[in-house]
Amino acid sequence: MIHTAAVEQNDNSQTRLSINVPELNRMDGWLREAKIKDVVLVQDGDLLWEWYDKGADRVAPVFSCTKSILSALIGIVTDDGHLSLEQTVSEFFDKVPEHKAGITIQHLLTMTSGMEWPDFDKPYFEMRKSGNWLDYILNQPQSHKPGEIYAYNSGCSHLLSAILTKVTGQSALTFAEGRLFGPIGMDGKTRWNHAAGISEGGAGMHMTARDMARFGQLYLQEGSWEGQQLISSDWVRESTRIQHKGLLNYKPPIYGYYGWHWWCSPQDHNGKADCYFALGYGGQYLVVIPPCNLVAVIRKQVDGKNNAMRCKELLFEHILKEKG
């Protein structure tokens, strides 16, 4: 069981969705054919259904789902009054090029920094090979003014992780263990890769599917856990609402609109229910569906970016059903 607080549901067509557990129990063959690895469904704060291809949960890479957890940590620091969205990167790093001086925390969160970062996150791999990740990011050319365009950019995320470390004096992992992971009862097995002592902002986290669901439940409860407000409800709501059209028009529709390091998918986008989600490479999904009081974790074997659609097919065609 995952501890929950009461969550008000919307009184509309989205609440007329149901989950047929007996049907899910008959999907073992489909799940294996689709190369699904783990599924965890939590509804009304209770574990509703889980499935693992190896029979048990395991610590596994979540890739870019890391970004949404980092967003929560930035929210905590902001709630503490140690950071503001209007602060610029030049306040935290030496020798920031003049054309990057106006990039703010909010630009980094929405991935509208304006730096030249070709689709789809191609410089990420060159960054990892470089001797100094921060220098690599800050020395990328600037193709637009901050705030003008969206470009998916793990460099923005790594700058946020570095800023968090400068503000707190701790790595993002150490800070998360004390302010987030521990308080929600995660199992302590989470790992987070780092470069030069800075937790990798755009990826690098490894955790269990159940712990991903715990994090999703915290957001469903608008940052509250066992009576303690770990993240302000304002931050949760603002970070998970549409801030930019993001990759709404990408085909197949793996992504959606973009918030503050969260993807957003309203009912008219997915055909079923308003939701927001964290997404890692190859189909690692953490989906929060407030109208259904549901958190869904679906993790898949990596076999190409577009095959991540099998996870959305599972969620929107097999898990969420119209009530008869």
pLDDT per residue as tens digits for the range 87-130: 999 999 998 999 899 999 999 999 999 999 998 899 999 999 99
Single out the residue of 240, 213, 217, 218 nearest to residue 229, CA to CA.
218
pLDDT band at 13 (very low <50, low <70, confident <90, very high): low
| Multiple choice CATH, 59-207, 3.40.50.720, 3.20.10.10, 3.30.420.40, 3.40.710.10 | 3.40.710.10
pLDDT per residue as tens digits for the range 237-279: 999 999 999 999 998 889 999 999 999 999 999 999 999 999 9
Only one residue has tokens 């489909």, namely 30
pLDDT at res. 305: 79
CA distance 223 to 243: 20
pLDDT at res. 1: 44
Residue 93: φ, ψ to 5°: -130, 145
- For the chain, the average pLDDT equals 94
pLDDT per residue as tens digits for the range 50-87: 999 999 999 999 999 999 999 999 999 999 999 999 99
- Given a contact cutoff of 8 angstroms between Cβ atoms, the answer to whether 157 and 107 are in contact is no
pLDDT per residue as tens digits for the range 114-171: 999 998 899 999 999 999 999 999 999 999 999 999 999 999 999 999 999 999 999 9
Single out the residue of 244, 243, 132 nearest to residue 196, CA to CA.
132
Domain-by-domain residue ranges, the chain?
1-57+247-324, 59-207
The residues, any chain, with a CB within 8 Å of residue 306's CB and separated by 6 or more, are 252, 254
pLDDT at res. 262: 98
The pTM score is 0.95
Residue 5 has pLDDT above 50, yes or no: no
| Encoded tokens for 188 | 């302590």
pLDDT at res. 9: 47
Residue 10 has pLDDT above 60, yes or no: no
Percentage of the chain beyond pLDDT 90 is 89
pLDDT at res. 324: 62
